[in-house]
Amino acid sequence: MPGRFDISSRIVSQKEIAPDTFLLRLYAPEIAENAVPGQFVMVRPGLEEERDPLLRRPFSVHRADPDAQQIEILYRVVGRGTRMIARKQAGSHLQVLGPLGRGFSLPKGKIPILVGGGLGTAPLLFLADVLEEKRAVVVLGAVTRSQLLRLQDFSSTGLEVLVATEDGSLGNRGLVTEVLDRLLGRLEKDARKNVVVFSCGPMPMMRAVAGLCGNYSVECQVSLETAMACGLGLCLGCAVCSDTGAFLHVCRQGPVFPAGQVDWSKI
Amino acid sequence: MSAGKARFFLQAKWTGARSKMSRQQQTFLGNGPEMKVSIGKLELKNPVMLASGTCGYGPELADVLDLTNIGAIVVKGISMEPRAGNPPPRIAETPCGLLNAIGLENVGVEAFISSKLPWLHERNITTIVNILGNSVGEYQALAARLNKCPGIHALEVNISCPNVKEGGVAFGTDPEQAAKVAGAVVQACDLPVIVKLSPNVSDICSIARAVEDAGASAVSLINTILGMAIDIQKKTPVLGNVFGGLSGPAIKPVALRMVWQAARCVDIPVIGVGGITSASDALEFFMAGACAVQVGTATLVDPGAAGRVLQGIVDFMQENHYQSLKELRIGP
């Protein structure tokens, strides 16, 4: 797999954009130039000589800016490792390995629908940035308005953005899947062949998205998240069950998979 | 220590020569402190290997680590038939450590020979194949099958995997069984045979001696330590397999102690494995009596770790005027 780099990356900026949710901007020329939407990086929380926490943490590339030679990572503090990263200030460095994995594949001529829940919006903004098909639709969901992330940035891409919040504080009251259901339901049977859904979010949401797309016979790609040690295909730790009963490895075969390849009953 | 200790150093041949080359060249061309090490009839250019299960079959690491500079790669454990491995979750991070229950997922011996080995062979990468069977017969058949394959330099016999129901560690916890497996593999091939030992035993010396007597060229230790983690919110074990093998810096003191013990009860080379993350870790193992080391979990965190460990060993030896690795060993 060509084009992977392990670099000491300077923090350009780090902002807490929602409670415990951070936007990290890194100077990483090699990664910014080579990454495609859906790929990820592995970030070491501590210094080289520190052994605890031991493993790097995987993060989707949230945005890549080859001109500025920078990438963005959107993440939430969920444990010790992410807390350590969140404490780092602009000007300090993080060891970053990437870009890793297989990203979204963009079928020619199909109209994309991007479906993100909560922090699942992380890989989708990069995708929205590079889409040439301007008829694409973005559907974003969260529990409440304050947890809808990067809404303004999605709108700035010029794509149509639909919003759902569970408490009705913004957009449709309910789940993103209900919005997706209505969108797909409105399409003629033939038109569904010309649509592709890209989804990232909590597993129950993606399972529901995959189910809907299956029912409507719409192509669907999902970006999966698992515990991961190396990100390189060395440890085989990031296995998920496939429809054939064999295991898929999220770090190398994914993190983006055709939804039909995944055994959703075992996730 | 047994009386035959000196043989260890005869088998682990060290020669020395110096020239005015760059430090990098000295390391990799064998000048500077003598770094060559012999395991049976196999001579390694240096004593730093990549541990099985943490380096895939090679290509996975190729763009982030120069495998031709490494003493040897020990590829992911191979069985006769492909194995799917254990259900997820397969890994859990613990303080300074990693629990895994991969379950020896591998492509099987035939696919390894046809689709994995040629890549290593074409690049002249010193390749040690880790093998695993459900029975003595399967170990023997694997050794026979791999024996004449070009590009294989040695076998490492895995009698210590804690994550599979049959075989694996069952052979590694009983000296008699361990000797049976080792003897069968030695008989079935002309390659140097390394036996990888389990730490999940009460008397490492009896196992090490048993495989030495059965004709093994070396022992490598330790494999992972059996452990587990529980998710208190879900009230369930974290790993799909319930138990897993603990690796990483957390196990280094245990590995070091067992290498010290093994090095003092067998005459064949002892290869140190377990939590080696830096050159200073590796140097501790040489001081304990190891003739070579394997870098494992550290590669998962930092794919270039083995190269850094190797360079650090050379630097330390030069700064402290050690001419050869054997001088590092403490006492008898």
pLDDT in tens, chain A (267 residues): 458 999 999 999 999 999 999 999 999 999 999 999 999 999 999 887 789 999 999 999 999 999 999 999 999 999 999 999 999 999 999 999 999 999 999 998 899 999 999 999 999 999 999 998 889 999 999 999 999 999 999 999 999 999 999 999 999 999 999 999 999 999 998 999 999 999 999 999 999 999 999 999 999 999 999 999 999 999 999 999 999 989 999 999 999 999 999 999 988
Q: Which of B271, B285, B277 is nearest to B308 (CA)?
A: B277
Q: In chain A, count H helices and then E strands.
A: 7, 16
The rounded distance, in Å, linking the Cα atoms of A73 and B32 is: 44
What's the average model confidence in pLDDT over B239-263? 97
HSE-CB for B4 with a 13 A CA cutoff = 11
Nearest residue of chain B to residue A233 (CA atoms): B60
Domain A5-100 has CATH 3.40.50.720: no
Q: What is the pLDDT of residue A245?
A: 86
**Chain B contacts to A (CB-CB under 8 A):** 53-56, 60-61, 63-64, 76, 84-85, 87-93, 95-98, 100, 102, 105, 248-249, 277-278, 297, 299-304
* Cβ of residue A233 closer than 8 Å to a chain B Cβ: yes
Provide the pairing of β-strand B72-78 with B48-50.
parallel
Nearest residue of chain A to residue B308 (CA atoms): A48
User: Exposed/middle/buried for A97, CB within 10 Å: 0-12, 13-18, 19+?
Assistant: buried
Cis upstream peptide for B222 (omega within 30°): yes
Per-residue model confidence as pLDDT tens digits over B58-81: 999 988 899 999 999 999 999 999
The rounded distance, in Å, linking the Cα atoms of B91 and B241 is: 10
Q: Which of A209, A37, A24, A23 is nearest to A127 (CA)?
A: A37
Record: contact A266-B96, CB cut-off 8 A: no
State yes or no: ipTM above 0.85.
yes
Within 10 angstroms of residue A134's Cβ, the number of other Cβ atoms is 10
Taking each helix axis as running N to C, give the angle between helix B204-213 and helix B175-188, from 0 to 180 degrees, rounded to the nearest 10. 30
Catalytic residue among B161, B189, B205, B265: B161
Q: Structural domain tally of chain B?
A: 1
CA B258 to each of CA A39, A100, B198, B328: distance values in angstroms, whole numbers, following the listed order: 42, 37, 10, 17
Residue B79: CATH number of its domain: 3.20.20.70
**Radius of gyration of chain B measured on its C-alpha atoms:** 19
Q: In chain B, count H helices and then E strands.
A: 12, 16
The rounded distance, in Å, linking the Cα atoms of A152 and B96 is: 41
- Of chain B, the percentage scoring pLDDT greater than 90 comes to 84
Residue B225 tokens, joined: 């330590």
The rounded distance, in Å, linking the Cα atoms of B98 and B93 is: 5
Per-residue model confidence as pLDDT tens digits over B156-209: 999 987 666 555 667 889 999 999 999 999 999 999 999 999 999 999 999 999
Task: Calculate how close chain B gets to A144, using CA atoms only, in Å.
Answer: 24
Please state the φ and ψ torsions of residue B118, each to the nearest 5 degrees.
Answer: -55, -40
Q: What is the pLDDT of residue A50?
A: 84
The rounded distance, in Å, linking the Cα atoms of A77 and A84 is: 9
Record: contact B302-A246, CB cut-off 8 A: no
The rounded distance, in Å, linking the Cα atoms of B96 and B113 is: 36
- pLDDT greater than 90 at residue B22: no
Q: Which residues of B touch A49 (CB under 8 A)?
A: 278
Q: Which of B180, B158, B33, B27 is nearest to B103 (CA)?
A: B158
Per-residue model confidence as pLDDT tens digits over A144-187: 999 999 999 999 999 999 999 999 999 999 999 999 999 999 99
Mutate: best of A4, A55, A236, A244, partner B, most B CBs <10 A: A236
Which residue ranges make up each domain of chain A? 5-100, 111-266
Residue A14 tokens, joined: 């780090």
Residues linked to residue B180 through DSSP beta bridges, in sequence order: none
Q: b/e map of B222-253 (b: 16 or more CB within 10 Å)?
A: bbbbbbbbeeeeeeebbbebeebbbbbbbbbe
Judge whether B161 counts as a catalytic residue. yes
The rounded distance, in Å, linking the Cα atoms of A112 and A118 is: 19
Q: Which of B53, B44, B52 is nearest to B72 (CA)?
A: B44
At residue B109's C-alpha, the angle toward residues A252 and B114, to 5°, is 75
* Chain length of chain B: 332
- A32: Cα separation from own chain's centroid: 16
What DSSP line would sit under A237-265, residue for residue? --EEEBTTSSEEETTTT-BEEEGGGB-GG
Domain A111-266 has CATH 3.40.50.80: yes
Residue A158 tokens, joined: 């010029």
Within 10 angstroms of residue B140's Cβ, the number of other Cβ atoms is 21
What's the average model confidence in pLDDT over B249-262? 98
Please state the φ and ψ torsions of residue B24, each to the nearest 5 degrees.
Answer: -60, -50
Cis upstream peptide for A107 (omega within 30°): no
- pLDDT greater than 80 at residue B96: yes
3-state SS, residue B118 = helix
Q: Which residues of A touch B92 (CB under 8 A)?
A: 227
* Biggest CA pair distance of chain B: 62
Q: What is the pLDDT of residue B272?
A: 98
State which residues form the domain around B27: 5-328
* Cβ of residue A172 closer than 8 Å to a chain B Cβ: no
* Cβ of residue A78 closer than 8 Å to a chain B Cβ: no
Element (H, E) at B11: helix B5-11
Per-residue model confidence as pLDDT tens digits over B278-313: 999 999 999 999 999 999 999 999 999 999 999 999
